[in-house]
């Protein structure tokens, strides 16, 4: 019970849905000794694979890529999780490969066949919200048994896991609500700038989180700091360009290159963005303000938010509540790490996407540009972390495609 109470207070400190699911699943697996587990979130009439952990397969298969896969299952008896969601009942299975003929659910053996993994015991728990609706399914696989081999889930393990999922529902709903609120802010920016889409924001959030993860591992950061920062960054990075709502449409949507005067106004989106988080109420606000202010600051000190000088039309500066150049330009390590990371993630995504003013670049040209700008536009440490991501970058692109 004290473990479960501790879990609930730690869940309250998490912001992103991924971090909340990761925490719940880790705890449920530890309580029940399960070797692997998946959280599925209900998405309309299907269940999406939303979080996957597997101790035996880590290293064998790239599980980070699987976190970003958008596979889903129907809510019916064609799978065990689908059946748990359909009926709201907990399903306990001793051997997934020996489900009796005539059972109301089926086990899909394809994943085991592809990965060489042997699924034996399964505990599939519906996560029900306060209005009685199934919002998710938590599925635990291969409870620890005697002699290091998987055994069945004990009734005690099933009881604890059920208690945990019962309380997890509220945390999952909070995570879903935060994500929706952030995406709504992004949609407001998108009303003005059609390139600032939900998928672009989600890709930048995911690239930034994974770049940070790789960088923190390379630095030998502790797992507590790593998880906490990755959690905040994945959400704060999505808000990097919401300040574009403060830029006139004629500039934002101009099909060709900007004049120097227009460019100077455009630069102010960093200031507008930072101003939205002026009175920070949380660590998330502080990070979002840093990112909005400095995501166009180059590592070599060029770039902005400064945008001072004669280019900015006086009538623009004369408007009330307009930026006065008070955001100091920074260089190198003085640029907040989160902004250095998002600076690269945003440019990579902008380069490989079409904009009103440019065509999409092929991926290899975008990567060549980033490599060439190491130490110029970009922090070399961030560039190294980006290039270490491998297939995760593609998995993220496929997870959040442009419509
Ligand atoms: P964005 O379109 O999201 O681009 C973000 C950043 O990606 C740019 O920041 C730039 O660093 C990089 N980037 C995008 N396309 C290219 C490219 O073709 N070549 C290179 N080398 N880098 C590229 P930047 O330049 O500070 O621009 C910030 C925002 O200003 C852009 O966001 C876009 O909304 C607007 N913008 C920039 N240039 C133009 C332009 O020529 N025409 C129009 N209409 N808008 C522009
Ligand atoms: C940090 O890790 O957040 C500070 C160090 C740096 O900015 O590189
Ligand atoms: C490229 O061909 O790699 C892009 C040119 C550039 O760096 O701007
Ligand atoms: Fe920007
Ligand atoms: Fe952007």
DSSP letter for each residue of 206-224: HHHHHHHHHHHHHHT--HH
Is the same domain home to 107 and 238?
Answer: no
Final residue of a structural domain among 175, 208, 239: 175
Is the same domain home to 262 and 368?
Answer: yes
Mean pLDDT of the chain: 87
Question: Is 254 part of the annotated catalytic residue set?
Answer: no
Is the same domain home to 156 and 215?
Answer: no
Burial class (CB in 10 A: 0-12, 13-18, 19+), 391: exposed
Domain assignment present for 236:
yes
Length of the chain: 403
Is the same domain home to 217 and 280?
Answer: yes
* Non-local CB neighbours of 162 within 8 Å, separated by 6+ positions: 90, 125
How far is it, in rounded angstroms, from Cα 59 to Cα 36?
A: 14
Catalytic residue among 133, 227, 230, 244: 244
Is 190 a residue whose pLDDT tops 90? no
282-340 pLDDT, tens per residue? 889 999 999 999 999 999 998 877 554 444 555 555 554 545 555 677 899 999 999 99
Domain assignment present for 152:
yes
Is the same domain home to 158 and 301?
Answer: no
Is the same domain home to 143 and 224?
Answer: no
Is the same domain home to 171 and 215?
Answer: no
Q: Which of 113, 18, 28, 100 is nearest to 67 (CA)?
A: 18
Strand partners, 252: none
Q: Do residues 127 and 137 touch, judged by C-beta distance below 8 A?
A: yes
- Given the CA of residue 366, which atom of ligand 3 is nearest to it? 3
Q: What is the pLDDT of residue 126?
A: 95
* Non-local CB neighbours of 157 within 8 Å, separated by 6+ positions: 31, 32, 33, 123, 143
Is 75 a residue whose pLDDT tops 80? yes
Mean pLDDT of 54-75: 69
CATH code for the domain of 268? 1.10.3210.10
pTM of the complete model? 0.84
Is the same domain home to 115 and 209?
Answer: no
Q: What is the pLDDT of residue 281?
A: 86
| Strand locations in 7-105 (E) | 34-43, 46-54, 72-74, 91-93
Is the same domain home to 170 and 199?
Answer: no
349-396 pLDDT, tens per residue? 999 999 888 999 999 999 999 999 999 999 999 999 999 998 899 999
Q: Whose CA is nearest to atom 2 of ligand 3?
A: 365
Is the same domain home to 254 and 116?
Answer: no
Domain range for residue 132? 1-175
Domain assignment present for 286:
yes
Q: Whose CA is nearest to atom 26 of ligand 1?
A: 296
* Nearest ligand (C-alpha, residue 364): 3
Final residue of a structural domain among 175, 208, 224: 175
* Non-local CB neighbours of 222 within 8 Å, separated by 6+ positions: none
Count of domains in the chain? 2
* Non-local CB neighbours of 93 within 8 Å, separated by 6+ positions: 80, 99, 107, 121, 122, 123, 124
Is the same domain home to 273 and 372?
Answer: yes
How far is it, in rounded angstroms, from Cα 368 to Cα 351?
A: 11
């Amino acid at each position: 019970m004290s473990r479960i109470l501790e879990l609930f207070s730690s869940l309250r400190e998490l912001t992103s849905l991924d971090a909340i699911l990761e925490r719940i699943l880790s705890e449920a697996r530890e309580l029940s000794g399960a070797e692997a587990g998946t959280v599925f979130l209900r998405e309309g009439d299907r269940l999406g694979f939303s979080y996957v952990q597997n101790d035996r397969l880590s290293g064998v298969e790239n599980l980070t890529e699987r976190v970003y896969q958008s596979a889903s299952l129907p809510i019916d008896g064609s799978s065990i999780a689908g059946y748990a969601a359909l009926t709201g009942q907990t399903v306990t299975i001793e051997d997934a490969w020996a489900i009796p003929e005539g059972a109301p659910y089926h086990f899909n053996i394809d994943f085991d066949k592809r990965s060489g993994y042997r699924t034996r015991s399964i505990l599939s728990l519906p996560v029900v919200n306060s209005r009685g609706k199934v919002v998710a399914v938590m599925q635990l696989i291969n409870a620890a048994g005697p002699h290091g081999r998987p055994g069945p889930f004990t009734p005690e393990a099933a009881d604890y896991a059920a208690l945990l999922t019962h309380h997890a529902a509220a945390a999952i709903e909070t995570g879903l609500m935060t994500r929706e609120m952030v995406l709504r802010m992004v949609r407001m920016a998108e009303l003005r700038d059609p390139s600032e889409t939900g998928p672009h924001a989600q890709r930048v959030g995911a690239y930034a989180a994974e770049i940070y993860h790789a960088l923190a591992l390379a630095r030998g950061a502790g797992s507590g700091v790593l998880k906490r920062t990755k959690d905040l960054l994945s959400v704060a990075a999505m808000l990097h360009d919401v300040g574009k709502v403060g830029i006139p449409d004629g500039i934002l949507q101009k099909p060709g290159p900007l004049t120097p005067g227009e460019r100077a106004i455009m630069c102010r989106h960093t200031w507008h963005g930072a101003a939205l988080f002026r009175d920070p109420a949380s660590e998330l606000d502080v990070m979002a303000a840093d990112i909005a202010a400095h995501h166009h600051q180059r590592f070599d000190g060029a770039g902005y938010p400064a945008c001072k000088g004669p280019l900015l039309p006086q009538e623009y500066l004369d408007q009330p509540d307009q930026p006065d150049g008070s955001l100091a330009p920074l260089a190198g390590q003085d640029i907040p790490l989160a902004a250095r990371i998002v600076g690269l993630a945003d440019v990579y995504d902008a380069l490989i996407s079409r904009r009103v003013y440019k065509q999409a670049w092929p991926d290899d040209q975008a990567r060549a540009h980033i490599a060439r700008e190491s130490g110029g536009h970009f922090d070399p440490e961030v560039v190294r972390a980006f290039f270490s991501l491998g297939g995760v970058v593609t998995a993220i692109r496929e997870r959040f495609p442009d419509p």
